[in-house]
Amino acid sequence: MEEARKWLPSNQTGLCHAAPPGSSESWRWAVLALGYAYSDWEIAIAYFQKAIGGQHPDGGIPLHLHGLAEPAGIALQERPYFAPVLWRLFEAAPDPASRKAAVARFLPMVMAHQMYWYAKRDPLQEGLTCILHPWESPQPLATLWDRWLIPSEQAGATKHSGKKQPHPAESNLPRERAYPGNGFQVQDPYHNALLAFSSFLLLQMGNSIGTDMQELLELHELTIYSMNEKLWNEEYSIYSAYNIEAGELYLSGTLGSWMPWIGTVPDQARAEAMRVVFEANFHLDDYFLAASNSLFASSTDPNVPGRGAASLWDNWLLFQGLQLYDFSELASTLMRDVIDLCKENGFQLHYPTKKGATAQIKYDTSQIAPAAAIIIAFLKGKPILNTLA
């Protein structure tokens, strides 16, 4: 814990590096707020204000991803991850007065962002929001998006063919190859699970200060219903992405297919079925939990973010979902593996998952502070249900 704390910036402006590739500056500020929530309340609040400070009057918060070219003609939006961070601030407040003040100050802002997604990105009014570009996904580098981000002549190349597998962040794909009206309007299970998780937490915080949350409650229930009716893949016991324009589900072995756990989307029977499939694809003796892609997929590379390397942020969220369904053994394994990976590789946002293998992921100093903050959240945060009790 002390090792992690020393890598956090020493003051509210102490960022000597830009946000890591594939992430945004807003996300970085929010994660640092998460890390400071348990040690310096004032700095944590200041960071959270910075994270949400670019909000527009309509509630939208622009997404600007470091290291990735923005597509032409699309106003990319931040993912709905602010509520989980605000919840941890709520949990870690030094006294009831500070807790109530923080919720009263930030809840309307986070609520406005949540409602933006429902108002602007739910064209079928079924409680399922759409992303308009892969970069808006919580997993912007996932193999699921290869069909849109990698030129077709390269998409079939694999490590088995003797060619380097193309990576979305390295693609020379023209910006106009992926935009609304050209095949991409996707109801992503991970994004909608994050939306459901956020609504669940916002409802708790709103009720704590007497705010009328009826509209959000109804939308939350609709999201869960529609995810189960439309995105559930009965054959494989996972949730799949649905492309509105193509009118079809896309089977994917990315970790996002299991993220509906965090939003308590599946009932217990489905959650148990998902657990069996999850363990078969991710819980192997020679690998750490949890890779970003099924360990059996031909596109998986345990050293490449989005294609197999473990994401510290995704695993922190996954840890919440495992606890919500009382998968305590898996949650303990995930916690232990995250700490072991950190000890072996230092504070990084992505880790190789093959045990005993030489890491090929380039060490990036821009990742140290946010990674340290997430580790602190792992070690200090209480299980969600315990907090609610």
pLDDT of residue 369: 86
Determine how many CB atoms are found less than 10 A away from the CB of residue 380. 17
| pLDDT tens sequence for the chain (389 residues) | 555 555 566 544 444 455 666 678 899 999 999 999 988 899 999 999 999 999 999 999 999 877 666 676 778 899 999 999 999 999 899 999 999 999 999 999 999 999 999 999 999 999 999 999 888 999 988 888 887 776 544 444 434 333 334 333 333 333 334 444 456 889 999 999 999 999 999 999 999 889 999 999 999 999 999 999 999 999 999 999 999 988 889 988 999 999 999 999 999 999 999 999 999 999 999 999 988 999 998 888 888 888 899 999 999 999 999 999 999 999 999 999 998 888 888 888 888 998 876 666 666 777 888 888 999 988 886 666 544 43
Cβ-contact 380, 40 below 8 angstroms:
no
Both ends of the chain: CA-CA distance in Å?
26
CATH 1.50.10.10 fits 2-155+173-388, yes or no: yes
Provide the H-helix boundaries in the chain.
2-5, 25-36, 41-52, 82-92, 96-120, 146-149, 152-155, 189-208, 214-226, 268-282, 312-324, 328-345, 368-380, 384-388
Domain ranges of the chain: 2-155+173-388
pLDDT of residue 224: 97
- Residue written as tokens 């929001």? 129
For the record, the structure tokens of 79 come out as 């993912």
pLDDT of residue 4: 54
Determine how many CB atoms are found less than 10 A away from the CB of residue 334. 24
pLDDT of residue 341: 87
CA distances from 376 to 82, 117, 223, 312, 368 (A): 17, 30, 31, 12, 12
pLDDT of residue 198: 96
Burial class of residue 346 in the structure, from the number of CB atoms within 10 Å of its CB (0-12 exposed, 13-18 middle, 19+ buried)? middle
pLDDT of residue 140: 87
For the record, the structure tokens of 216 come out as 């959000």
| 192 closest CA partner among 234, 143, 239 | 239
Half-sphere exposure (Cβ direction) of 87: Cα atoms closer than 13 Å: 25
For the record, the structure tokens of 131 come out as 């992303």
- Burial track 253-268 (b if 16+ CB lie within 10 A, e otherwise): bbbbbbbbbbbbbbee
pLDDT of residue 15: 47
pLDDT of residue 186: 94
pLDDT of residue 302: 87
DSSP, collapsed to helix, strand or coil, labels residue 8 as: coil
pLDDT of residue 366: 75
